[in-house]
Amino acid sequence: MIDRTQLLQRLDALGIAHETHDHPPIFTVAEGEHIKQSLPGGHTKNLFLRDKKDHLILVSALGETSVPINKLHPVLGCGRLSFGKPELLFETLGVRPGSVSAFALVNDTAGRVQFILDAALMRHELVNFHPLSNDATTAVLATDLIRFARDTGHEPLIMDFGSLATSPASPQ
Residue 85 lies in a domain: yes
Chain CA centroid to CA 73, Å:
18
> Measured at the alpha carbon of residue 113, what is the angle toward residues 6 and 132, in degrees to the nearest 5?
30
Mean pLDDT of 3-19: 97
Mean pLDDT of 153-160: 97
Residues 23/128, Cβ–Cβ less than 8 Å: no
Cα atoms in the Cβ-side hemisphere of radius 13 Å centred on 72? 30
Total domains in the chain come to 1
What pLDDT is attached to residue 113?
Answer: 98
Residue 141 lies in a domain: yes
If you average pLDDT over every residue of the chain, what do you get?
93
Residue 138 lies in a domain: yes
Q: What SS3 state is found at 110?
A: coil
Mean pLDDT of 13-17: 98
What pLDDT is attached to residue 59?
Answer: 98
Residues whose CB falls within 8 Å of the CB of residue 26, separated by 6 or more in sequence, listed in order: 32, 35, 98, 134
pTM score, two decimals? 0.92
pLDDT of residue 162 exceeding 70, the answer is yes
> What CATH code is carried by the domain that includes residue 93?
3.90.960.10
Say how far apart CA 150 and CA 159 lie, in whole Å: 17
Cα end-to-end distance, the chain, whole Å: 38
What pLDDT is attached to residue 170?
Answer: 52
Mean pLDDT of 22-35: 81
What pLDDT is attached to residue 172?
Answer: 44
Residue 88 lies in a domain: yes
pLDDT of residue 34 exceeding 80, the answer is no
Residue 171 lies in a domain: no
Say how far apart CA 107 and CA 105 lie, in whole Å: 5
Radius of gyration of the chain (CA): 15
Residue 10 lies in a domain: yes
Residue 116 lies in a domain: yes
What pLDDT is attached to residue 169?
Answer: 58
